[in-house]
């Protein structure tokens, strides 16, 4: 930064009210890893979800409704040495390396913090087959158009449009579901990382371009592994039924007092069990489900979903 720009920045800082100055300094210290806030009995909270899980919806609820602690939310992962009031969020895997998801070696740090009881792990999940369709659409859109989307509805106006495209490109879908690296040969390198510039409390960044995304059996396995380690599991479909009840679970874990008389929470925009309509209209997708290996089927049922 040039000297004139530094001076202008200093002047802007000096003109701010004292409270904003203190907030800015505190933010700077946190980002540098020099000082982490720790209020009361707070524990560091990690909000984790695999791709296509609904994590961003949960994050929006947290930011809107937990009050002052939202100031300590970060959309990346760090590893403070003890309990803090920080809230970190991102995509991460436990066993299998994957595109745009925190590497297992790093995720193990989160799990260790949870076992040591100075952190809580909140895991967001949904029916794996709904996630599979969402992830296929997300990756092929990114691969083809170099564009990130937030959901299938940004690409297809109706389920019939999705089904027609799936039928026409089923071999591509199958390659994606099998974790075929060739599916990603045209995928550009990541624009952003779940991991910030390393500091004393941050592990080195993972390689900029992992080999591929998870296969569907690996995705299901990762979901089961999270169930074994999470402090709190949140099923996205339950937020479609009673979002207030489900959000109260988060508030209770984080010791946040909610005024339920004025609490208004909008359910997710996505539809529950959307894969069922696709299953009915695309025979090859139905065959794909029927031919899943027994272990993958067992894992899907174990986390509470029918096939």
How far apart (Å, rounded) are the C-alpha atoms in residues 124 and 114? 16
Q: Label residues 27-39 b or e (16+ Cβ within 10 Å = b).
A: eeebeebeebebe
pLDDT over 80 (residue 57)? yes
How far apart (Å, rounded) are the C-alpha atoms in residues 224 and 5? 51
Mean pLDDT within 286-292: 97
Mean pLDDT within 60-79: 93
For the segment 159-171, what is each residue's pLDDT rounded down to a tens digit? 999 999 999 999 9
Asked: is 37-302 a CATH 3.40.50 domain? The reply is yes
Q: In what order do the strands lie in the sheet with 232-235?
A: 73-74, 87-90, 44-49, 119-125, 232-235
How far apart (Å, rounded) are the C-alpha atoms in residues 208 and 196? 13
pLDDT over 90 (residue 13)? no
Q: How many helices (H) and strands (E) does the chain have?
A: 13, 5
Mean pLDDT within 264-282: 94
For the segment 17-35, what is each residue's pLDDT rounded down to a tens digit? 765 555 554 555 555 556 7
Mean pLDDT within 224-250: 96
Mean pLDDT within 298-305: 96
Mean pLDDT within 37-50: 94
- For residues 90 and 74, the answer to whether their CB atoms sit within 8 Å is no
Q: Which residue has the tokens 């209020």?
A: 39
- For residues 97 and 106, the answer to whether their CB atoms sit within 8 Å is no
């Amino acid at each position: 930064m040039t000297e004139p720009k530094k001076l202008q920045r200093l002047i802007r800082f000096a003109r701010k009210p004292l409270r904003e100055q203190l907030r800015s300094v505190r933010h700077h210290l946190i980002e540098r890893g020099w000082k982490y806030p720790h209020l009361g009995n707070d524990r560091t909270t990690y909000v984790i979800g695999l791709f296509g899980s609904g994590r961003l919806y949960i994050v929006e609820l947290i930011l809107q409704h937990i009050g002052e602690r939202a100031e300590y939310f970060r959309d990346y992962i760090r590893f403070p040495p003890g309990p803090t009031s920080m809230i970190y969020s991102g995509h991460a895997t436990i066993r299998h390396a994957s595109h745009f998801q925190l590497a297992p070696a790093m995720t193990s740090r989160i799990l260790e913090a949870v076992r040591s009881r100075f952190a809580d792990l909140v895991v967001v999940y949904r029916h794996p087959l709904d996630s599979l369709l969402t992830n296929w659409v997300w990756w092929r859109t990114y691969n083809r158009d170099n564009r990130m989307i937030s959901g299938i509805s940004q690409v297809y106006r109706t389920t019939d449009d999705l089904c027609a495209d799936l039928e026409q490109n089923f071999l591509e879908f199958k390659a994606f579901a099998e974790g075929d690296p060739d599916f990603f040969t045209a995928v550009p390198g990541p624009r952003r990382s779940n991991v910030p510039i390393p500091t004393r409390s941050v592990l080195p960044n993972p390689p900029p371009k992992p080999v591929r995304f998870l296969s569907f059996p690996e995705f299901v396995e990762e979901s089961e592994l999270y169930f074994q380690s999470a402090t709190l599991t949140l099923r996205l479909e339950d937020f479609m039924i009673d979002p207030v009840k489900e959000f109260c679970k988060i508030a209770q874990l984080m010791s946040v007092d909610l005024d339920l008389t004025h609490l208004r929470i909008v359910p997710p925009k996505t539809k529950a069990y959307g894969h069922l309509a696709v299953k009915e209209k695309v025979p090859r997708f139905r065959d794909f489900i029927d031919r899943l290996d027994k272990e993958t089927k067992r894992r899907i049922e174990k986390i509470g979903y029918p096939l």
